[in-house]
């Protein structure tokens, strides 16, 4: 990514929001792993997802987190479900919120999708709880 792209207001906002939701370690890993091939994609998601949609005032980070988890679960995006379950530690979405989102997934997108999402969330919760006790 060129310096001009990094200096846009939307990009800077996107980095800030992305870090606040996913954490510095995740964003640092993503930036370090970027190559010339996928750097434009990293810029796109930083500006569009984080600098535009997640930065909008219409929903709180908690609410966006719940919507995002339901959508990712419905679409079967397992890796992203796990990442966004971890992110709830930063967004304020509770485990009860996650459960309710996945119950909606069961009704509107299918029981198999919700079943998988519940399984992923339980694995992530176990990891998160273990990290707190270490």
pLDDT digits (tens, 9 = 90+) for 19-60: 999 999 999 999 999 999 999 999 999 999 999 999 999 999
Q: What is the pLDDT of residues 55-104, one digit of tens each?
A: 999 999 999 999 999 999 999 999 999 999 999 999 999 999 999 999 99
| Dihedral class, residue 8 (left if φ above 0, else alpha if ψ from -120 to 50, else beta) | beta
Name 113's Cβ contacts closer than 8 Å, sequence gap at least 6: 73, 74, 75, 76, 105, 106
**What CA–CA distance (Å, rounded) separates 104 from 101?**
5
The answer to whether 12 and 1 have CB atoms below 8 angstroms apart is no
pTM of the entire predicted model: 0.90
């Amino acid at each position: 990514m060129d310096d001009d792209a990094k200096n846009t207001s939307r990009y800077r906002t996107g980095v800030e929001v992305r870090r606040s939701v996913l954490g510095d370690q995740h964003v640092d890993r993503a930036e370090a792993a970027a190559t010339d091939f996928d750097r434009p994609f990293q810029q796109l998601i930083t500006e569009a997802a984080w600098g535009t949609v997640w930065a909008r005032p219409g929903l709180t980070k908690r609410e966006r987190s719940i919507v995002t988890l339901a959508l990712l679960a419905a679409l079967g995006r397992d890796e992203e479900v796990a990442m966004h379950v971890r992110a709830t530690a930063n967004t304020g979405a509770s485990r009860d919120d996650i459960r309710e989102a996945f119950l909606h997934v069961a009704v509107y997108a299918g029981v198999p999708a919700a079943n998988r999402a519940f399984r992923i969330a339980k694995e992530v919760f176990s990891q998160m709880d273990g990290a707190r006790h270490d």
